[in-house]
Amino acid sequence: MPEFEPVLLANIGKADSHTLRVYAASGGYAALRKVLAEVPRERFVDLVKASGLRGRGGAGFPCGLKWTFLPKDHPGPIYFCLNADESEPGTFNNRILMEDDPHQVIEGLILSCYATRATTAYIYLRYEYPTALVRMQSAIDECYAAGYLGKNILGSEFSLDVYIHRGAAAYICGEETGLIESLEGKRAWPRIKPPFPAVEGVFRKPTVVNNVETVACVTHIAARGVDWFKSIGVPPDPKNPRDAGSYGPKLYCLSGHVERPGCYEAPLGITVQELIDRFGGGVRGGRKPKAAIPGGISMGLLKADEFDCPLDFNGPGRYGCLGLGTAAVVVMDETVSMIDFLHNSCRFFAHESCGQCTPCREGTAWSLKMLDRIKAGRGRLKDLDLLLEIGRTIGIIPGTTICGLADGAAWPIKNAIEKFRDEFEEYIRRTNPKGYMQTEPVPAFATLPVVTGSR
Ligand SMILES: Cc1cc2nc3c(=O)[nH]c(=O)nc-3n(C[C@H](O)[C@H](O)[C@H](O)COP(=O)(O)O)c2cc1C
Ligand code: SF4
């Protein structure tokens, strides 16, 4: 790994790192001052575009480009939604930023609103983050008192009000249009796109939705410049014309069976193995690794012999996963049953599907029913192909659903069965010796005792 100076986590660990006093002492809000005084907003959008910053919330969409989709002649209002819903399993980097360095996030938010001409920003905050709520609200209050928020910020013509909106405690509230519906006081049912939020978002007005870490990166692009940002990470893969490169620092959430779980900052492109060895202190108890999820459970699964996978926006896709997602890496050692892994994953998505699209509602529910049955010792080999069929047919990518939750449900199914099929087959044969070859339908709702020790 090349020489690297962490910036996103630079303040974490300092006493009172969440206060304006400590943030300002390390140069905080100097970038905002400079941009408001010297950089016209169009030029600032161009800078962020040129930096190659891609959204950190999961999809990796180029940030500056998204901002240019706002209608140029819109008389207003334009809204900015900071997506702080952070519900992807294994992901906690937004929480750490908001709890321990809220001003870094708010400076980025103010800069992003300046760029997008938004004069009202909503922070859609995960309901289960009470400390982040207190720290972010106190930081907002400090900003109003210091003239960083409110009317004519720092004597400029730019004004901004920021409100925190507590989330509705469901995974789907993090999907940007589900978030918008929830913010409007409705059920978080994702909207059919187009129109995209940039054209019709909150209260049907042009809206930008960005992730907490994305706007934190904007702060550092403003402070250190485009060349600095582009000097970190990896350039586009020449073999992939759709890869826009993966630039800048990234927060990786490392958890599961490692000695030192935590949130670590590294250049985009670090491999899973490097992350485990350099930051995680190796696999817990000296055991052998078996698998890892590369970027939140929605991204699928890597086998241990795929840990050379680079964690950039393009890397996990080359290993059959959905993408980098939230860069939350959960390591599983050799004691973990893939049947248990998949059962947990299916349980999560069946619970979180909002139910609007039949393929997602039924596909997630039926995959859980099949995993329940397999775990209970009534599985059939045929179930594996049925599960794969569900995995291949639900989601935005096959074009059957409104939002990406279904793709996220599909990938763990496809990866677990394709990469660990022998384990599934052995388990089904062993626990259902009389019925594993059965092909005729079996009861779906039978209440069956779960076989213990699924390994
Ligand atoms: C089911 C689902 C849940 C999501 N949850 C989050 C979330 O908690 N936080 C987030 O920033 N993005 C989440 N996203 C992605 C958002 O829809 C959106 O792409 C993102 O907030 C845009 O910000 P960015 O461009 O800065 O990444 C989710 C997407 C889906 C499909
Ligand atoms: S894909 Fe699933 S979660 Fe997304 S809108 Fe459709 S039913 Fe709801």
Q: Are residues 226 and 97 in the same domain?
A: yes
Has residue 276 been placed in a domain?
yes
Q: How far apart are CA 284 and CA 290, in angstroms?
A: 12
Handedness of CA 246, 275, 213, 410 (dihedral sign): positive
| CB proximity list for 332: less than 8 A, separation 6 or greater | 256, 257, 289, 290, 291, 292, 341
> Which residue owns the Cα nearest ligand 1 atom 5?
174
- pTM, rounded to two decimals: 0.96
Question: In ligand 2, which atom is closest to the CA atom of 396?
Answer: 1
In-domain check, residue 10: no
The mean per-residue pLDDT over the stretch 111-117 comes to 98
Q: Give the pLDDT confidence of 205-255 residue by residue, as tens digits.
A: 999 999 999 999 999 999 999 999 999 999 998 888 888 999 999 999 999
Task: Count Cα atoms within 13 angstroms, Cβ side, for 58.
Answer: 23
200 and 129 inside one domain:
yes
Which of 440 and 262 is assigned the larger pLDDT? 262
* One-letter amino acid of 244: A
In terms of domains, do 353 and 273 share one? no
Q: Please, are residues 105 and 63 in contact by the beta-carbon 8 Å criterion?
A: no
Amino acid 97 reads L
Residue 443 lies in a domain: no
Q: Is 14 inside a domain boundary?
A: no
Residues 310 and 359 in one domain: no
Test site for ligand 1: of 92, 105, 129, 209, most ligand atoms within 8 A of the Cβ: 209
pLDDT exceeds cutoff 70 at 385: yes
Q: Classify residue 265: in a domain, yes or no.
A: yes
Residue 444 lies in a domain: no
- Residue 317: which domain range? 246-333
For 251, the 3-state DSSP assignment is: strand
- CA-closest residue to ligand 1 atom 23: 210
Q: What CATH number corresponds to the domain at position 252?
A: 3.10.20.600
103 with 24, same domain? yes
Place of tokens 């990234």: 250
**What is the pLDDT, as a whole number, of residue 455?**
46
373, 407: one domain: yes
Q: Are residues 192 and 53 in the same domain?
A: yes
The angle that helices 338-352 and 358-375 make with each other, rounded to 10 degrees, is 150
Instruction: Among the bound ligands, name the one nearest to the CA of residue 352.
Output: 2
The answer to whether residue 450 is domain-embedded is: no
Same domain, 74 and 111: yes
| Same domain, yes or no: 214 and 324 | no
Boundary-marking domain end, from 333, 350, 378: 333
Contact at 8 Å (CB) between 29 and 107?
yes
With a cut of 90, say whether residue 427 has pLDDT above it.
yes
Single-letter residue type at 191: R
If DSSP codes are grouped into helix, strand and coil, which group holds residue 209?
Answer: strand
Sign of CA dihedral 131, 132, 137, 139: positive
In ligand 2, the atom with minimum distance to the C-alpha of 356 is 7
Domain boundary among 311, 333, 355: 333
Residue nearest to atom 10 of ligand 1 (CA): 57
- The most distant pair of C-alpha atoms in the chain lies apart, rounded to whole Å, by 79
User: Is the same domain home to 42 and 123?
Assistant: yes
CB 402 within 8 A of CB 190: yes
Query: How many domains in the chain?
Result: 3
CATH number reported for the structural domain that contains residue 73 in this entry: 3.40.50.11540
Residues 52 and 130 in one domain: yes
Residue 241 domain flag: no
Sorting pLDDT into bands at 50, 70 and 90, what band is 306?
Answer: very high
pLDDT of residue 316 exceeding 80: yes
Would you state the pLDDT for residue 422? 98
Query: From the CA of 446, how far away is ligand 2's center (Å)?
Result: 27
Measured from the alpha carbon of residue 179, the closest ligand is 1
| Per-residue confidence (pLDDT) for residue 440, from 0 to 100 | 83
Instruction: Judge if 310 and 344 occupy the same domain.
Output: no
Q: What is the dihedral of CA 349, 395, 52, 118, to 10 degrees?
A: -80
Looking at 287, 309, 333, the residue that finishes a domain is 333
What's the 295 CA to ligand 1 centre distance in angstroms?
Answer: 13
Q: Measured in angstroms, how far is the CA atom of residue 166 from the centroid of ligand 1?
A: 16
pLDDT band at residue 159 using 50, 70 and 90 as cut-offs: very high
Task: Tell me the two tokens of residue 226.
Answer: 């485009």
